[in-house]
Structure formats: C-alpha cells, structure tokens
Amino acid sequence: MEIAEAILKAKKNDQKAFNFLLDTFWNDVYLFQLKRTQNENDAEDITIQTFSKAFDKINTYNDQYKFKTWLITISKNLHVDLIRKQKSSISKVQNNPDHTYLNIADDAPTVEDKLITEQNLANLLRDIKQLKPHYQQVIMLRYFQEMSYKEISNELNEPINNIKVKLLRAKKLLAEIITRPNDF
C-alpha cells in the first residue's frame, strides 16, 4: 500500500490503512519524541497521543505537505502543551536576591477528591463493561494492571503495533460511551 492511498483509505475509516500508517511512521514520531523528552515512557505516551489526534483529525490533513511532517508537527505541539502544563504547577518565588525558592503546587488529593475518584472509578468500570471483550481486555491490562505494551503483546500473543492500535480504538470508543448523554 502506498502512503497516499493509505491516507485516502484512512479518511474513509479503513482500519488497515490506519495500521499501515501507524506501522510506517511510528518509529519516526517515537524517536523524535525520545530525543526531545529523554524519557521512553513520555515519548511513547506522546507518540500514542499524536497518532490518536492525527487519526481523529485525518480529514484535515493537507496533502501539499508530507504526512510525516504533519505527524511531527502534531507531536511537537503535544510536547509543548505538556511542558506548559508542567511549568504551570511550579512557579519561582524570590524573596531574597541571594536565594531562589520554588513554589510547587500541592497535588495531594483531598478527602473530597478521593471520594469523587472512587465514584468515577465505579462509573468508569461500568462504562468499560460496555466495550467488546477484546477492548475491555487491553484497557484493563494497560491501565489497571499497568502492563507495558510489550507485556500486553506477549500476554495476548499479538504484535505490539496491533496492541497500540487496539488500545487507541478502545480509548476512543470508551470516550464516546463516557460522553454520550444518559438515557434517564
């Protein structure tokens, strides 16, 4: 399959085209992020977010530009957003010209936060049960058993890129379930 053909098919929601594009460009985006973040987990998370966002917005892709460049731009923007978010939780406080102090936001959950988290977890588990079993399985392995993609790949005896795509799809379907209005 050619890249241009895969993009056209992806715009028509062809899952094989999405897989082809993911397989073709995964290393480019991942290595780009690994150089920027110097952290394998962050690079992997941003790469997954990049493909998720790209596949959600595939219809906005302009074929005057290289697809790889478009992906790298999305990836770079996601990384910049992550840095901004991290910087907003730390601010410098200078009371004395000889010393600089950092004021770090307290992220420790309050009692109310813990209660809300428990309620949200119950709702999330209910929503996960609405997914097809193979999507439930990858969500549970990744987020509840905190397995790496490689461990999930070994556990399910599937290629790692299939696991990544399945997880992307599961998260997208779960988001649709969560955001749809209740019928009561």
Residues of the chain with CATH 1.10.1740.10: 3-88
Catalogue the long-range contacts made by 74-77 (C-beta closer than 8 Å, 24 or more residues apart).
Answer: 74/50, 75/29, 75/32, 75/33, 75/46, 75/47, 75/50, 76/32, 76/36
- Residues 3-30: what's their mean pLDDT? 91
DSSP H or E segment with residue 126: helix 111-128
- Tokens describing residue 158: 């599937």
Structural tokens at position 54: 């790209």
- The CATH-assigned architecture of domain 3-88 is Orthogonal Bundle (1.10)
Residues of the chain with CATH 1.10.10.10: 108-179
Lookup: tokens for 129: 């049960």
**108-179 adopts what CATH topology?**
Arc Repressor Mutant, subunit A (1.10.10)
Per-residue confidence (pLDDT) for residue 25, from 0 to 100: 94
pLDDT bucket at 143, cuts 50 / 70 / 90: confident
- Please provide the average confidence, as pLDDT, over all residues in the chain: 83
In whole angstroms, give the CA distance from residue 165 to residue 26.
11
- Whole-structure pTM value: 0.54
CA distance 113 to 121: 12
- Residue 18 CA to residue 58 CA, distance in Å, equals 10
**Rounded Cα distance, 69 and 63, in Å:** 11
pLDDT reported for residue 5: 93
Mean predicted confidence (pLDDT) in 42-63: 89
Assigned token pair, 18: 């999405």
Nearest to 142 by CA among 117, 160, 122, 115: 160
